[in-house]
Amino acid sequence: MAEMQVLTEPPSTGKASPTPKAQAQAQAKDQSQARAQTEAPAPAAQQQKRGPSIHQIYALPAPIRTFPLPVFYPNNPVSLFHVAYAWLGQVFRPPPVEPAVVHQGVWSETTISVHIKDEKSMRALWEQGFYGKGNLSRSEPNWLKREQVQRGLQEAHVSEIFTQQRREERAQAKWERARLEQEAILQTKLEEQRLAESRRLAEKQAAVPISSPRPLAPVGPLELLALPNSAVVVSRLEPAPTPTPFLAPVGPLQILALPNSAADILKSTEVNKENGTLTLSSSSHHGSSTDDSEEPRTPITNETPEIFRDDRSVNSSSDGMGNKTLKRRKSVRFSPTVESATYKASDPPSPNRSPPVLFSQPSQANGNGKSISQTLPPLPLASVPVSDPIINKEHLQLMPEEAFFLSFGLGVLEITDPASGRVLSRQDLFSLFRQYSYFPPRNGPDEPDLEPDDGFLVHYAVYHHFRSLGWVPRAGIKFGVDWLLYARGPVFDHAEFGLIVIPSYSDAWWKNQGKQGPRKPWSWLHSVVRVLSHVTKSLVLIYVDVPPPHKFEEALKDGITEAMKLYKVREVMVKRWSSNRNR
């Protein structure tokens, strides 16, 4: 940082001293100049160029260009001249015929969709109406861009990469939280073990009998008078041996091990002269004592983790005195993927989804008393040469409703049959999509006839209806509905509505035939409403009135347009009623 030096001169006689306000202004000016000198402008290389905004990228709502006339305002006569000028300009210099670009697609029977493989067509159909989805992406076909960012060839915003980063951060936070919880549990167990050990030592000290005071050698008349006169008096001074308390029996063996009388208790009680404690011998009983039947408690230490331990495997061994002792045998369960030889006792029991595991050496410790741990070396990654060109392996998948709308409604798509290589006409596409809306497809000569209530006709009527109103419908299987409605597109905002399409047989012909719509219970409707309410979406039931077969076949002879006019769409909004909010 640059140093600012201020030179002050002594005020000369005959000159007025500056006012405090002038001094503050001068000081502020000097500070601004010094700040301007210290803050050098950033180089042009560090200033990253910002691309066009999303409003410029997705400016066209459809893959065709329109040339509307200006708005006419009756209270403004000048707007009439503006409208007349624009109309005369289009009459004498007409705009190019639309659609100016016709995209090419290929029909796929395997995925029952239309594949767009040209990169320009993929970008155009996505940016001009959000049609289709990338087969290697979540929605937008940006696999090539994502690969370039991962290889460091360019710096750009990719939604899948940011989503993956957020998921990794959440997983790391969950792992850290689980590790802290495991450490807290371990500290609690250690504290409980310490308290249990202190209680055991206290009980052991309390069980040690207090030896009776032996009479000392007399050194005077008082001591001579205090000596006992006979052996009876000496025996009275000796305390009686304390019998060992027996625990409450919990089984037949423990009941048989109980003593039958006070004499058996005295016989089974022996005083250990080495340490002065009372022990209970099991040689005089038919069964083992209650203490022998209990499992030995394994101390919990930092060096002995309890993870991956099976406490059910126990070995019993006997010593030469006939006392049986239980020895715990450690059983380890191995997983298919081995990340580390050992784990810390504080590690949560989910190492497969964890960041790199730290393996510790319990035998070595640093000055702070903590075990020395080091990170496992990462696995070697396959190095991809940057010089190799990246081939785009992604294509755009169009649903039958989207493909037919682009071909029939807008005329911007031509679909080719992969077997013959010929371009399918609209009538052929209409029949093809109807055949594959059934399962199995009705494309054979012996298959039943196509019905006017097949899945493609009912769903295309709904798709065409909302596309004509300016909405952006997309598949809604992720939320358990047929379609999701976006106001502008998935780039700008979330979907506001979820649509469920229900065919309606309101015509008298269907009633005479006894045809009824699908019957679903209230539990199904409640579950769908609950799912959509959690993601702040509203449920809309779309009833499509299906025409009778004879009317549909007659209208189909005049064209697809006349046949689709017979379908009527009705919308019913469903909201979740809550007694607390709607009273």
Residue numbers annotated as active site? 486, 494, 537
DSSP characters over 456-523: HHHHHHHHHHHHHTT-EEEE-GGGTSSEEEESS-TTTS---EEEEEEEE--SHHHHHHT-------HH
48 phi, psi to nearest 5 deg? -75, 140
The DSSP symbol for 122 reads H
CA distance 150 to 169: 18
Task: Give me the helices (H) in 39-107, please.
Answer: 54-57, 78-92
CA distance 398 to 105: 9
Q: Find the angle CA(497)-CA(503)-CA(504) to the nearest 5 degrees.
A: 115
SS3 96: coil
| Residue pair 484/476 in contact by the 8 Å Cβ criterion | yes
Tokens found for residue 505: 């047989």
CA distance 89 to 83: 10
Quick one: 338 exposed, middle or buried, by C-beta within 10 A (0-12, 13-18, 19+)? exposed
| Residue pair 315/294 in contact by the 8 Å Cβ criterion | no
| Residue pair 226/220 in contact by the 8 Å Cβ criterion | no
Q: Which residues contact 495 (CB under 8 A, 6 or more apart)?
A: 474, 476, 484, 485, 486, 537
Tokens found for residue 431: 């029949």
Burial 34-61, CB ≥16 within 10 A → b, else e:
eeeeeeeeeeeeeeeeeeeeeeeebeee
Beta strands in 236-313 (DSSP E): 269-271, 278-280
DSSP characters over 224-236: HHHS-SSHHHHHH
